[in-house]
Amino acid sequence: MSETLEAVAPSAVRPNDVRPLTGNEAIARGAWEAGVKVAAAYPGTPSTEILETMAEFPAEDVHAQWSTNEKVALDVAIGASFAGRRALCAMKHVGLNVAADAFMSQTYIGVNGGLVIAVCDDPGIHSSQNEQDSRIYGMLATVPILEPSDAQEALDFTRLAFDLSELFDTPVIVRSTTRLSHTRSPVAIGDRNEPPPRPFIDKPSKNVMIPAYARPRHGVVIEREAKLKAYFTESSLNRWEKGDTGFGVITAGTCYPYVREVLPDANVLKLGASWPLPDDLLRRYCQSVERIFVVEELEPVIEKEIQALGFKVEGKCFFPRTGELSPELVRAGFEQAGILEPRPQQKTWTPEPLVRPPVLCAGCPHTSAFMAVRASGARVAGDIGCYTLACLDPLRGMDTTVSMGSSIGNAVGMAKAGETKPVVATIGDSTFLHAGIPQLINAVYNQANITVMLLDNGITAMTGGQQHPGTGKTLRNEPAPRVDYEALVRAVGVKWVRKVDSYDLAAVHQSLRDAINYRGVAVLIADRPCVLDPVKIKGPPFTVVTEQCNACQACMNIGCPAITWSDQSFEGRHKVQIDQSLCIGCTLCAQVCAVDCIKIVAPVMQ
Amino acid sequence: MRDPVTTVRPAAWPKTPALKVGPADDACNVLIVGVGGQGVIMVSKVLALLAQSQGFEVKQSEVHGMAKRGGSVFSHVRFGKRVWSPTIPKGDVDILVALEWAEGLRWLPFLKAGSGIFICDTKRIVPPFACLNRKPGAPMRYSKETPAEVVAHVGEAYAIDATDMAEQLGNERAANVVLLGALSTALDFSSTDWERTVAEFVPKKTIPVNLEAFRRGRGWIEDARTSTPAVDVPAPTPATAAPYRIRLDINPAWCKSCDICVKMCPERCLILNAERIAELAAPDKCTGCRLCEWLCPDFAIRVNLDAPEALAR
């Protein structure tokens, strides 16, 4: 393997240019430097900025696109690889579930142009529905997983990943986590080096996975794993930082800086690739130290492998399997293990923390939809987006949320199982395009009696306002064809379709009642743009005529962050006030006010 | 290279010791916190860029997934000769800068005991969650600690009305730059470097107002060190005692099942019963707001607010 090792050594010569980059920006930069030609993704925290950064590079260098979902994105990237160009696909951890079908076949096919999948995990569930560990996909698919520990490595490893992909004929995963993706640190950058296109590999036995061709490819995959193990044993990606042999720490990715923070001089084996693991190197390392610790976030992937090699290893007994690790938790683990002296107890003063959950924005067009579904007494299957926050008080308008697009299928199941309440599915525009359309076709085909509320705010809001096929703009903000939802749902056989203005509360209530009364699949499209993206909406604000307010709290049920209690009261209840800097003038509170005390702040007439 | 961890607090400052100067390879830890939309990330970017331009290794780590939705936002900035962890271990924060009062209090346990510096805007952003309990007399749920209490527990604390200072300059959004000015007094970078970096991050038109905001924040802390600052945060809305007990009289003979009261009740505590007559199903939720009484077209509902004495009789 020695010649190939030389071939993939990270380029040492760089222009003297150091920039503060986040992990995501560094991944995009690394891919660009590696000569990536096609990049595709569906936005998802914490991975979104990878493609947004990609779009800042010239369009002649790289075609960067928002795809309708992660499987589509991966298929696009795979196509570019077939065509002999380097391709990048980025997604959050749960996005890989969506793309898994294509991914599991592509591991048999391998690559032509280098194919790199950047997967960003979210340990600690900062903005996700679970905290699955993507490294297990590496094991499942026998695909190498590179794990950078800071932004510099994110760039270097991404560059290298393209070389490895072509050298070993395999897709390669670069795994990040929220902490790495959103940490800015200095990165030495390099120039773009675009390899010439490779000719198409005209070989159906490699590219077409029928059973007869797939069976031998599985054998090729197993052989590839052995080659990768041999490579990683010698590779400088895995770094043995020698120290005292009383104990050794094996770690990877974002856990490495935590280990160094609390044990600056320890004997550490830092793995740059967490799959496949280099057996020989691990064996040598484990034999060289008396006690072996593994510090890894989430699942005991490395720990289990070392156990399988026959060594006694300590890991998850000291470092939690749930949530995000931190220097504090790593220190606590080593204190418990008797490696570190406990720190002297500091006398800390802990004021009772204020509960501040994220809320729907002032003027959010989703608000009225959930006021209406709650008032309708329906069973509500929710979906993924900002509007999932409507499950909290005071809106409390959602009963279930599973995964992207699940709402409609869940609603069909509930209705078919004999739910006695009316069944409503609520789904955002981007989520509908991502995974809702097959669900809607299924509902029509199976003649379910459900109502689908399509909450069209004209943007992918949750991830910070990304374009999608319903916005009429591309990732690079260029004009694009626009999906016509009304025509689309009619085309799949929905007979009851109505569009309603989200800011007309009475119309939303009445339309939802009509939709529920219709027997069959009814689609109600709530139509108002997001107040933040693509443009910040700010109309004339409203104010409360305090003398008239009877403190009934009807407006407080909107959950609007601009409405809070004032210091005046009526019959023991707090009167309300409106923060005019937050109010965008959506009028919902004025519509629910029974005593008509919420008025527009009149513009001064000249 | 200058030592990153120094304070310019004069020896004359009473009560507490100066921020300890750590060994040269110890990182300086600044935690910046606030509510989504206030400019937490901007403050941390200015500091990170400034520290980097002075030759330090810098790591800046934030969680912003929910930033736009009024949630709690925080950003760790660490700089020094060598920085490992991107996050600051609990209890190791040298300077805590808070753009909102309750957010500052939330992160106080992260401050280094004894020597940490706490710089906090007295601005209160009350979340809708603080107003969930609508029972008559229920208090708003917001941090109750007063600045006096905070100063008593924290080595060096400044409660600064940065939002008010920014408003006086005619730009409320410059409050975060006022706090940057306050922060600048605790770190050993020249004010020329600070101001140059601030100017890089704000819109061109607002450079003069932001630089003035920066100087006022800086000046405020310098004044505070020589005199006792007289800034107070407004107390949260006090609890008022419930002056009455609520009793609903519903006249079934007059109710015509229109369900207006059911639909309009803010607490959703009314239902139509089996005979389709309005009924108070959740009396413990009723706040006595009288909406049902006023809106009933048939005068079938009367809301009685009985004074406690009347009940006793």
**What does each C-alpha distance from A255 to A250, A336, B297 come to in angstroms?**
10, 18, 67
Query: What is the distance between the alpha carbons of residues B122 and B162, in angstroms, rounded to a whole number?
Result: 7
CB atoms under 10 Å from CB of A265, counted, come to 9
Query: What phi, psi does A533 have (nearest 5°)?
Result: -130, 150
Which residue on chain B is closest to A350 by alpha carbon? B109
Q: What stretch(es) of chain B map to CATH 3.30.70.20?
A: 245-312
- What is the amino acid identity at position B311? L
Q: What is the mean pLDDT of chain B?
A: 82
> Residue ranges of the alpha helices (H) in A397-550?
406-416, 429-431, 437-445, 485-491, 505-517
- CATH topology (fold) of A2-234: Rossmann fold (3.40.50)
Which residue out of A47, A325, A348, A354 would a mutagenesis test of the B interface target, given it has the greatest number of B Cβ atoms within 10 Å? Answer: A354
Query: What phi, psi does A236 have (nearest 5°)?
Result: -75, -5
Whether B242 shows a pLDDT value over 80: the answer reads no
Q: What is the mean pLDDT of chain A?
A: 94
Query: What is the distance between the alpha carbons of residues B63 and B45, in angstroms, rounded to a whole number?
Result: 14
**Quick check: A186 and B58 CB within 8 A?**
yes
Whether B22 shows a pLDDT value over 50: the answer reads no
Asked if A544 reaches chain B (Cβ–Cβ under 8 Å), the answer is: no
Which residue out of A48, A185, A249 would a mutagenesis test of the B interface target, given it has the greatest number of B Cβ atoms within 10 Å? Answer: A185
Asked if A520 reaches chain B (Cβ–Cβ under 8 Å), the answer is: no
A293 contact partners, CB below 8 Å, separation of at least 6: A247, A248, A249, A250, A313, A314, A315, A318, A334, A337, A339
**Quick check: A356 and B102 CB within 8 A?**
yes
Asked if B244 reaches chain A (Cβ–Cβ under 8 Å), the answer is: yes
**Quick check: B131 and A574 CB within 8 A?**
yes
**Quick check: A183 and B61 CB within 8 A?**
yes
Which chain A residues in 82-101 lie under 8 Å from chain B, judged by CB atoms?
none
* b (16+ CB within 10 A) / e for B1-37: eeebbbbebeeeeeeeebbeebeeebbbbbbbbbbbb
pLDDT digits (tens, 9 = 90+) for B4-19: 222 223 323 333 333 3
CB atoms under 10 Å from CB of A350, counted, come to 10
Mean pLDDT over B87-115 rounds to: 91
Mean pLDDT over B44-70 rounds to: 83
Which chain A residues in 313-352 lie under 8 Å from chain B, judged by CB atoms?
326-328, 331, 346-352
Which residue on chain B is closest to A550 by alpha carbon? B289
| Structure token pair of residue B78 | 């660490």
Domain limits of chain A?
2-234, 239-336, 366-527, 542-600
Whether B285 shows a pLDDT value over 60: the answer reads yes
Mean pLDDT over B214-221 rounds to: 92
**Could you tell me which residue, A11 or A231, shows the higher pLDDT?**
A231
Report ipTM for this prediction. Answer: 0.90
- pLDDT for residue B10: 30
pLDDT digits (tens, 9 = 90+) for A217-244: 999 999 999 999 999 999 999 999 999 9
Domain B28-226 architecture = 3-Layer(aba) Sandwich (3.40)
Nearest CB partner across the interface for B87, out of A327, A560, A572: A327
**What does each C-alpha distance from B116 to B12, B34, B185 come to in angstroms?**
18, 18, 14
Helix (H) or strand (E) holding B120: strand B117-121
Residues of B in contact with A566 (CB under 8 A): 237
Asked if B58 reaches chain A (Cβ–Cβ under 8 Å), the answer is: yes
Residues of A in contact with B103 (CB under 8 A): 354, 356
Whether A1 shows a pLDDT value over 70: the answer reads no
Q: What stretch(es) of chain B map to CATH 3.40.920.10?
A: 28-226
Asked if B74 reaches chain A (Cβ–Cβ under 8 Å), the answer is: no
**Quick check: B127 and A561 CB within 8 A?**
yes
What is the least distance, in Å, from the CA of A86 to any CA of chain B? 30
**What does each C-alpha distance from A521 to A207, A298, A383, A512, A524 come to in angstroms?**
41, 42, 18, 13, 10
Which residue on chain A is closest to B265 by alpha carbon? A554
Whether B310 shows a pLDDT value over 90: the answer reads no
**Quick check: B140 and A183 CB within 8 A?**
no
**Quick check: A572 and B142 CB within 8 A?**
no
A357 contact partners, CB below 8 Å, separation of at least 6: A389, A392, B71, B127, B129
Residues of A in contact with B86 (CB under 8 A): 150, 179-180, 183, 185, 254, 257
Domains A2-234 and A542-600 share a fold: no
Residues of A in contact with B71 (CB under 8 A): 356-359
| Structure token pair of residue B209 | 């107002």
CB atoms under 10 Å from CB of A130, counted, come to 10
Q: What CATH number was assigned to the domain covering residues A239-336?
A: 3.40.50.920
Nearest CB partner across the interface for B237, out of A46, A326, A574: A574
B230 contact partners, CB below 8 Å, separation of at least 6: none
**What does each C-alpha distance from B107 to A28, A310, B103 come to in angstroms?**
33, 44, 7
Share of chain B above pLDDT 70, in %: 83
- pLDDT for residue B227: 67
Residues of B in contact with A359 (CB under 8 A): 69-71, 127-129
Query: What is the distance between the alpha carbons of residues A293 and B246, in angstroms, rounded to a whole number?
Result: 64
Which chain B residues in 175-234 lie under 8 Å from chain A, judged by CB atoms?
none
Whether A2 shows a pLDDT value over 70: the answer reads no
- pLDDT for residue B4: 29
| Closest of A302, A288, A295, A293 to residue A244, by C-alpha | A288
Strand blocks (E) in A383-510? 423-428, 451-456, 496-501
- pLDDT for residue B238: 56
Asked if B148 reaches chain A (Cβ–Cβ under 8 Å), the answer is: no
Whether A253 shows a pLDDT value over 90: the answer reads yes
What is the least distance, in Å, from the CA of A551 to any CA of chain B? 7
Which chain B residues in 253-272 lie under 8 Å from chain A, judged by CB atoms?
263-264, 266-267
Asked if B308 reaches chain A (Cβ–Cβ under 8 Å), the answer is: no
**Quick check: B113 and A350 CB within 8 A?**
no
**Quick check: A184 and B59 CB within 8 A?**
yes
Query: What phi, psi does A341 have (nearest 5°)?
Result: -70, 140
Query: What phi, psi does A268 have (nearest 5°)?
Result: -125, 135
**Quick check: B305 and A389 CB within 8 A?**
no
Number of A–B residue contacts, CB under 8 Å: 205
Residues of A in contact with B61 (CB under 8 A): 179, 182-184
Asked if A264 reaches chain B (Cβ–Cβ under 8 Å), the answer is: yes
Nearest CB partner across the interface for A346, out of B64, B113, B295: B113
**What does each C-alpha distance from A367 to A557, A582, B105, B148 come to in angstroms?**
10, 16, 31, 40
Which residue on chain B is closest to A150 by alpha carbon? B86
The answer to whether the CB of A190 falls within 8 A of the CB of A11 is yes
pLDDT digits (tens, 9 = 90+) for A495-507: 999 999 999 999 9
Asked if A186 reaches chain B (Cβ–Cβ under 8 Å), the answer is: yes
Asked if A505 reaches chain B (Cβ–Cβ under 8 Å), the answer is: no
Whether A146 shows a pLDDT value over 60: the answer reads yes
Whether A516 shows a pLDDT value over 70: the answer reads yes
Query: Is A542-600 a domain of CATH 3.40.605.10?
Result: no
Q: What CATH number was assigned to the domain covering residues B245-312?
A: 3.30.70.20
pLDDT digits (tens, 9 = 90+) for B129-165: 888 888 777 788 888 887 777 877 887 888 889 998 9
- pLDDT for residue B15: 36
> Residue ranges of the alpha helices (H) in A67-181?
70-82, 93-109, 135-141, 151-168, 178-181
Asked if A589 reaches chain B (Cβ–Cβ under 8 Å), the answer is: no
Whether B177 shows a pLDDT value over 60: the answer reads yes
Nearest CB partner across the interface for B65, out of A127, A532, A567: A127
DSSP letters for A142-159: T--EE--SSHHHHHHHHH
Query: What is the distance between the alpha carbons of residues A447 and A494, in angstroms, rounded to a whole number?
Result: 10
Residues of A in contact with B243 (CB under 8 A): 571-572
The answer to whether the CB of B130 falls within 8 A of the CB of B140 is yes
Whether A3 shows a pLDDT value over 50: the answer reads no
Mean pLDDT over B265-291 rounds to: 91
Reported residue count of chain A is 606
A203 contact partners, CB below 8 Å, separation of at least 6: none
- pLDDT for residue A16: 63
As a dihedral over the C-alpha atoms of residue B215, residue B218, residue B223, residue B225, rounded to 10 degrees, the angle is -170
Nearest CB partner across the interface for A45, out of B65, B126, B241: B65
- pLDDT for residue B237: 55
* Superfamily holding A366-527: Thiamin diphosphate (ThDP)-binding fold, Pyr/PP domains (3.40.50.970)
Asked if A577 reaches chain B (Cβ–Cβ under 8 Å), the answer is: no
Give the least confident one: A532-541, B62-71, B155-164: B62-71
Residues of B in contact with A258 (CB under 8 A): 84-85
